[in-house]
Amino acid sequence: MNQNKYYHKLIFRCLSYYGKECECCKENIREYLTIYDTQELDAKESRRQLLHRAVKVKDRTRYKVLCLNCVKGYRENGICYHKEKSTTPSP
């Protein structure tokens, strides 16, 4: 319960600094938003540690606000499928 509260506080602090909507699709429902570390140096890092660091370093070029869908794109593809669709020329 307390852990959860702490987590939400962290998310809130991150979003107030990094932006309150998905950088890619402009989703703004907080429950769908998360912080993505574009460098993901330490894969073992927990969600909470990541947020903690994002708050501390305040590096907008490294951390992005993304919704869960877009994060999936970045993880699997290196870029969101939304963006891929709009930039890839049709054959």
**Closer residue to Zn ion in complex, CB, 23/45:** 23
Contact set with Zn ion (CB under 5 A): 22, 24-25, 27, 67, 70, 80, 82
User: Beta strand 33-37 with 63-67: parallel, antiparallel or unpaired?
Assistant: antiparallel
| DSSP 8-state assignment for residue 30 | G
Residue 17: CB minimum distance to Zn ion, A = 18
* Strands (E) located in 1-91: 33-37, 63-67
**Closer residue to Zn ion in complex, CB, 24/50:** 24
Tokens of 24: 């890619």
**Closer residue to Zn ion in complex, CB, 10/66:** 66
